[in-house]
Chains A and B, each alone.
Chain A
Amino acid sequence: MRAWCAGLAALTLAGAHPSFARDDTRDEQEEAGLDLAFRGFALAGYTARLGDERPSGADDLIVAEERVRLELSAEAAAMDVAARMQLDAAHDWLDDRVRLRVREAYVDYRAGRFDVRLGRQTLSWGVGDFVFINDVFPKDYGAFFAGQPIEYLKVPVDALRTTYSAPAFALDLVAMPRFTGDALPRRDRYDYAFDPFADVSREVIRPHRTPANTEAAMRLYGSVLSTDVALYAFRGYFHAPSFTPDDPLNPTLLAGTYPPLSVYGASLQRNMFGGVLALEAGYYDSREQRSTNPLLPGSFTKALVGFQRELRTDFTVGVQYVGQWLHRDGDVLSLPAASPRIERFQQTATLRLTKLLRHQALRLSLFALCGLTERDRYVIPEIEYKVSDRFSIVAGANLFHGRSPYTTFGVFRGNDNVYSWMRLTF
C-alpha cells in the first residue's frame, strides 16, 4: 500500500514537471489573473410522514430545514489551478440546531496529462441509475429517502484523486485516507419495521486513519468501437456498518464495524436500439473471514443491464434489471435461528419515466425500484417546476412497500412521505 502511494506521488510529480507537463502552443497573452467567484443558493425543504408508524417521540415531519449554500471558487487559468469551497449552513427545525458543514473544499491542478484534485470532494462513477455497483463512495440514504436534492445522496469524501488521460484511455486513481461511511436513515426519524435490537445501544468503530487503512479506488476507462468501457477496482471497507451484539441472547451493546471489502468490476455503455444500453458488473469480495462471525456480510456479485431511450420528444424511459448473487463463503445457513432467510439470488428491476414540459421548465418523473425476489417496492413520483431561472420548486413522494419487514424496502414500509423543497440560486 505504501509503495502504491509512493508510486502515485511520483507519477504526480513527474506529471507536474514542466518539461512535458505543458504544451507550448498556449496563448501567452491570456490574463494571468485570479478569477474569483462567489455564488450559492437558499433551500427550504420539508418532508412529512404519511403513515402512522414512527419512532417514539418523532415528529410528523422527517425533514424541516432551511439551508444556505455558499460557494467560493477561485481559478488561475494561467497556472491551471482552481480551488472551490462549498459551505452549507442548515437550520434544522426538528433538532432546532444550526449545522455547518463543508460540503466541498478542494484544489484542482492540471499538468500535462495529469489532473489532480485534492481535498473534500464528491465522487461518482458507474453506469447504473440509482443502482450502485462500482460506485462504492459513501452515500446518505437518509437524505435520499426524504426526497432531498439528489446531490445530498452523495457524501463528500476527503480524497486525492489523480487522473491520467492518454489519447486512447484514461485512468482515475483515488486515495481516501480518512474513512467516511454511509449515512444511514436516522433511527430517531425513520421507523425500522424489523429491528431485533431496537433498544440496544450501538457503538460504531471506524477504521483507524493509518496509511494502510487508506481506501483506494481505481477506474480505467476509454472508448472502444463507440462503446464506453470501464474497469474498476476498489480496496477498502464496506461503507455500511455490521453490528454484532455482545451477547446474542441478552444484548446490551451492539458493536458496529466496517468489514474490509474489495470490489472488482467492469461496465460497458453504448448507443443501441435508438437508446443507451448499459451493462455493469462487480464482484464484492468481503475480505473478513466470515466463519468467525456469520453476521458479517458475505461476498457477492452484482450486475445490471439497463436501457434508456427517448421514446418521444422530451419523454425518456429507462429500465434496469439488477441481479445479485451471494457467494457460498461462510454459509448463510449458519446464521442465528431467529434471522430471516436470505435468498441467495436476488433480482431487482427499476423503471424511470421522465417527461419534460413547458420548454423543459416542468419536469415530471417517476422512479420505481421493484424487488422481484424480495417482493418489495420503492416508488418516487416527483414534479419540478422552474418558476424562473433562479427559482424552482420540487414536490414528490417516497413510497415504500414490502410484504415482509425483513426486505430492503419492506423495513421502511412505515415511512411513506411527501416532500417539497424550493431553491433560490444566487
Chain B
Amino acid sequence: MINATVQFSVDRPRLTLVLVLLVTLGLGAFLPRITLDTDPKDMLAADAPVRIANARIEQQFALPPNMIVVGITRTAAAGVFEPATLGRIHALTSAISAIEGVAGRDVASLVTTNNVVAGGTGDLQIRPALRAPPASAAEAAAIRAEVFANPLFVERFVSRDGTTSAIYVPLEAGADGSAVATRIRAAIAQLAMPEEVHLAGDPIVSETLAIEVFRQLGIFSPLAGVLMFIVLFVMFRNLPMVMLVMVIAMISTVWAMGLHIALGFTVHLMGAMIPVFLMAIATDSIHIFNELQFQLRGGTSKRAAILDTMATVGRPVIFSDLTTAAGFAALATIDFPAIRMFGIFVGVGTLAILVLSFTLVPALLSLTNERRIRAHAARPESNTPNRWLAALGRFAVARSRAIGVSAVLLLVVAGFGALQLRVNNNMVEWFRESSTVRSADRALNERLGGTSPGYLVLSGPDGYFQRPDGLRLLEAVQAEVARQPNVGKVVSIADVIKHTYRVLTSQPAGRIPDDEDTVAQVLLVLSSGGRPQEIDNLIDYAHGKVNLSVQLKTWDVDAFERVIAAAREVPARLGVTGVTVEPGGMANFNLVWNQEMLVGMMESFAWGLAMVLLLLMIEYRSLLIGAIAFIPLLFTTAIIFGALGIIGKDFDMPISVLATLTLGLADDFAIHFVSRLRQRLADPESGSLDDALRWTIARPGLGIIRNAVVFSVAFFVMAFSGFAPYVTVGILMATIMLLSSIATLVMLPALFKMFPRIIGAESRNSRRLVPALAIIAVALLVPTGVRAQDAEDIARKSQLAFYYPGKDFRAQVNMKLTNKGGDVRERQLTMLRGNSGAPGGDQRYLILFHKPQDVRRTSFLVWKYPEKDDDRWLFLPAVDLVKRIAASDRRSSFVGSDFTYEDISGRDLSADSRRLLRRESLDGVDCFVIESTPKGEAEFARRLSWIDSGTFLPRKEEYYDRHDRLFKLFSSEEIQVVKGHPTMLRRSMRDVSSGHSTVVEMTGVDYDLGIEDDVFTERYLRRPPARWISE
C-alpha cells in the first residue's frame, strides 16, 4: 500500500499536489474560526473536584472567585498616612468600585471596610477608618492611630511600617480579569498618583501569562523556523529540499490546527505551541533526503532513486512517526483538557507529516529539476561529516565495554538525582525576574500579608462557631497556620469578634468572650454594621462553618500544602471531633492542579512507555530487540530527570509535559538505527557485524545527527525567551535530541557488540503495520472517550436530549402568554421538526399557526444550522407571499412569548463557555448545575442550568443580567417518555422583572413518523402537509 502510494505520487505529482492542496485549503478554511482560551484554570477540566469545591466555598461565603490586589506605597516620612495620599486612596477606591466587572460593594480597603471603634459617648461605632479624605496631617495621624489599633487591618490594609496600603478588588463572576486590570490602570493614571502602585493577584498573573505565551510564541516560532531553514540549508546546500521540509511543517500545522478548530475545540495556552512542535517533528523527513543524496550518488535515475529511497527509509520513517504520534497521544490520558488536546493534535499533525512524507515529498521531488537535486549529491565535501561518524563508529565498536560501564554509572548518578526532584509549580516564577508581575508580587508580599489567597473552611455542627469553645478551636488553628513559613495575613471571624469585644468592653487586649450569648450579640452588632458581607465572608448564617482566609506570600504550591496539613492536625491534637477542614481558593487550586498534574503525567508516561515498547516489539517481532531499541529513550529520560534533580530545578508543569513528549521523540533515532542496521545485515554485500555497525553509524547516522541538530537548533532558540516555560522547553528539547542521538549512535552499537546474537537480519513483512496503526488509533481515541463527563459534555448531551431526539418530531404546541395583570394571549401551532444531519447538526422546522385568528394559516419554515444564521421563511396567506426574513438575532422573542428563537430550537453550544458548578438534587432529581457564560453578546450575562443527570433535560434555568440579577426563569413542569425519548410536555418561562410569563404545553407528541425532507420546503409552507397536521 505504501509502495503504491509512493509510486502514484511519483507518477502523478501534479494530481498529488492538487489533492494535498485541496485538503489543506479545506482544513485551512477553519483557521479563522479559532477561539482561544487563555485562562490557565481552564487547563483543568470544569468538573475537576477542586474546581467544584472551590466554587462551592466561594458560594457559601459569598467570596469572589478572583481578586486583584492594588498596593499603594509611599516611603516618605509618614508613609501613606499623609492627607494627599489618603485622599488619593479614597478617590482610587471609589473609582475602582465603579469599574465594570468589579464586585463594587465588596471592594475592601481602608475606605470601605468597617472598623469597630468606641464612640465618644461610650457606644460602639461601626464605620470605615477612612470615611473622607483627611484635611490635615493631624487628622491623618488620627486615622493612622485608629488603623493600627485594629489588628485585623495591619498587614491586610496597611503594612506594619505604614508605607503601603492595599485595596482588594474582587471580580464579578465571569468578569474579564485583564479588562478590569486595564481599567484599574487607567483609573490610576487618571489620578496621576505620585505613589508607587502595584497590581498583583491571580487575574494579573493569568492575564500576563496569556499575553506572554502568545507574544513569545509570535517571536520564537518564526525565529525557530528561520534558524531551521538556515541549518538545513547549510547541511544540504539544496534549496528545494529545504523548502520541502518547511512546506511539510506548514501543511501539517494547517491540517492539525484546522482539524483542532473544525472539531470545535477551544485552543488553550498549550495548543498555541502545536506549530512549533510540528515544525520540529517535520525534520524527520531529513532521513529521506539524507538517503536520497546517497542514492543519487549511486548514479541511478531520479525516479529510481526516489523509489529506492522511499523503499529503504519508508519503514523507519513510518515507525518513528508512529511512535512520536503514540508518545503525544499518551497525553490524551491526562485529565487536563488543554494538555489532552495538545497531545492529540500534535499526534494528528505527526500523522499528517507521515502522510505527506509518502505523498507530497515524492511528488515534489519528482517535480523538482533533476539537476538541482543532483547538483549537491555529487559534492565531495558532503562526505566530511562521514569521516567524523566513521571515527565515532570505530570508537563505539572498539570500546563497547567502556561505553557500557559508563552508561551504567551515569544511570546510577541520574537515579540519585531523580530522587531529589521536587514537584512544584509557581506560575509567577515563570516570568523574568524583572517583569512587572514579579516585582509587583514581590513588593506586595514584602510589605503586606501576601498576594496568593487561600481559604480553609472549618465545618462543625450548626452554631458551633458561636460557642466560645468553637471560636477557641478556630483561634488555635489560626495560630498554627500563621506559624507556617510564607504565610502572611490570616483572618478569621475570631479576630473580628475579639476586636469588637475589646472595643465594646474597653479592654486593652482582645479575647474571645466567655459565653455564647455575648458572642451572639457581637455577631449581631457586626452584621447590622452596614456591610454584612464582611461577616458573611467569614462565617455562614447557621454559624456552623467558618472561613479562615490565608494570604500566602509565595506561589509555591507546597506552602499551602503545609498550611492544610498544619490546620488539619489541630482539632485532633485538641481532641475535638466532628470538625473538618477543607481547603479552597486560588492557592488550593494551584496545589491540586499540581498534584493532579503529576498523577496524570505519571499515568500518561506509563501509557506512553507501554505503547512505544509495544510498537517497537511489533516492528521488530522480537521482545529483545524492541527492548534494546527502547534503551536510548530510557537512558535519555533518566539522565534528564537526574540532571533536573541535581541542579535543583522544580519538576513543574512544562517539565512534566515534556517528560511525556520525550517518549515520542527520543526513540526516533533508535528506530532508524535498528531498522537500517537490520536492512544492512540482510544485504549480502555487508560484511561482519562490525562493518554493518560502522556503515549504519556513518550513513543513516548522518541523517540522525542532521535531524538532531536541526531539531535542537529550532528548539534551542526558545532558551533565549524571557519566559521560563519556554526556556525550559527550549533547553530540554534540545538536550533530549542531542542526548538521544548520541545514546543511539554510541550505546546501541556497544550493546549489539556485547550481545551480537540478538540482532538478526530483517524480514520484510508489511502486514505488521496494521496492528501498529490500530494501537495508535486506540491510543488516540480510547483515553478521550472514557474521560469523565465535563461541562461541555453535559451541555452537548442536554442539547441532544432536548432538541434532537428522534429522526423527526411532531407536536401540537399551545402557548399561554400571561402578563402581570393576568391578561392571557394564546398561540396555537403545530411544530414539525426533522434532523437533516447528524445529531447536533442541521435541523429543519415547519411551524404552522392555528391561533390567534389573525395569524391563522401563517406558517414558518426554519433551516437551522449550528454554526451560522438560520434560513427562515414566513408565509403570509393574506397576500400569498413567502418572505425570507432576517434571522441574525436568535434572541428575538418567538411570537411574542418569553421564549426566544434560541429557546425553541436550541442555542449554539459554541456560543457559551461553561463550567460545572456542582451536582445537587432538585426536587429529588439529581442534577448537574452548569454555569454558562456567553462568549459574545447575549441577552444574559450568565445562566445557571440544572440538568437532570438521568435524562439530560434541563429542569430549571436561571438567567442573570449584567448586574447579576435574575431576570428570567425557566422551569420544566412535566416530562414524559414518548417512544423512548424523555420529552418535556410542559415548560414555562417567566420574566422575573416584568412578571410576564409563558407556559408551553405540547400534545400529540410523536417521534420518528417518517416525515419526508421535502415537507420542509416552500411547497408545504404555502399549503401545509395535511397528513402531519391536525389542529
Contact = CB atoms under 8 A, between A and B. Distances in A.
A425 B1010 contact: no
Could you say which interface size class chain B belongs to?
A: 35 or more
Contacts, number: 117
Interface in A356-401: 356, 359-361, 386, 388-390, 392
A140 to B, nearest CB: 12
A224 interface: no
A167 B1014 CA distance: 7
A165 interface: yes
Nearest to A362: B896
B261 to A, nearest CB: 22
Given A25-B1010, A151-B878, A390-B852, A309 B888 contact: yes
Interface in B864-921: 868-871, 878-882, 884-889, 891-893, 895-898
Contacts of B880: 121-124, 154
A115 B889 CA distance: 34
A212 B198 CA distance: 90
Nearest to A121: B880
A310 B892 contact: yes
Interface string A142-173: 00000001110110000000010101001000
B656 interface: no
Interface in A82-96: 82
A423 interface: yes
A206 interface: no
A331 interface: no
A77 B939 contact: no
Given A124-B879, A150-B879, A80 B893 contact: no
Interface string B1006-1023: 000010001001110011
Interface in A243-279: 269-271, 274-276, 278
B881 A153 contact: no
**Per DSSP, are chain B's interface residues mostly helix, strand or loop, or mixed?**
loop
A115 B1023 contact: yes
A27 interface: yes
Nearest to B853: A425
B826 interface: yes
A26 B1026 CA distance: 11
A360 B893 contact: yes
B852 A425 contact: yes
Interface in B118-155: none
B853 A170 contact: no
A426 interface: yes
Given A75-B1026, A165-B1019, A274-B869, A312 B889 contact: yes
A313 B889 contact: yes
A30 interface: yes
Contacts of B881: 124-125
Contacts of A39: 853, 856
A183 B853 CA distance: 28
A172 B8 CA distance: 51
A389 B853 contact: yes
Interface stretch (B449-457, B567-575, B791-799, B817-825): B817-825
A310 B851 CA distance: 25
A167 B1019 CA distance: 11
A386 B871 CA distance: 28
Contacts of A82: 1023, 1026
Contacts of A163: 1019
A350 B1017 CA distance: 30
Contacts of B825: 359, 361, 386, 388-389
B884 A122 contact: no
B889 A310 contact: yes
Contacts of B870: 271
A112 to B, nearest CB: 12
A150 B878 contact: yes
A228 B823 CA distance: 40
Among A41, A149, A314, max chain B CB count under 10 A is at A314
A65 B996 CA distance: 37
B387 interface: no
A127 interface: yes
Interface in B156-203: none
Given A110-B1023, A151-B879, A165-B1017, A316 B856 contact: no
A82 B1025 CA distance: 12
A339 to B, nearest CB: 35
B854 interface: yes
Contacts of B895: 360
Contacts of B1018: 170, 221
Interface in B835-864: 851-854, 856
Contacts of A221: 1018
Contacts of A77: 1026-1027
A166 to B, nearest CB: 9
B418 to A, nearest CB: 58
A47 interface: no
B856 to A, nearest CB: 7
A117 to B, nearest CB: 8
A273 B898 CA distance: 27
A163 B1019 CA distance: 8
A3 B887 CA distance: 44
A115 B880 CA distance: 15
A278 B884 CA distance: 9
A127 B939 contact: no
Contacts of A308: 885-886
Interface string A313-343: 1101000000000000000000000000000
Nearest to A86: B878
A108 interface: yes
B842 to A, nearest CB: 11
Given A80-B1026, A389-B825, A313 B939 contact: yes
Interface in A101-155: 108, 110, 115, 121-125, 127, 149-151, 153-154
A154 B896 contact: no
B940 to A, nearest CB: 12
Contact of B879 (A122, A270, A423): A122
Nearest to A271: B869
A56 interface: no
Contacts of A210: none
B854 A122 contact: no
A271 B856 contact: no
Most buried by B among A30, A149, A275: A275
Contacts of A356: 893, 896
Nearest to B873: A228
Contacts of B898: 359
Given A75-B1026, A163-B1019, A271-B887, A359 B897 contact: yes
Given A153-B879, A310-B889, A389-B854, 12 more contacts: A39-B856, A121-B880, A122-B878, A124-B880, A165-B1017, A276-B884, A309-B888, A360-B895, A386-B825, A388-B823, A389-B852, A390-B852
18 contacts: A27-B1027, A41-B853, A108-B1023, A127-B884, A271-B870, A274-B869, A274-B888, A275-B886, A276-B885, A276-B887, A308-B886, A310-B889, A312-B889, A313-B891, A359-B897, A386-B825, A389-B825, A389-B854
Closest 6 CB pairs of A and B: A360-B896, A425-B853, A389-B852, A151-B878, A274-B888, A77-B1026
Interface of B: 817, 819, 823, 825-826, 851-854, 856, 868-871, 878-882, 884-889, 891-893, 895-898, 939, 996, 1010, 1014, 1017-1019, 1022-1023, 1026-1027
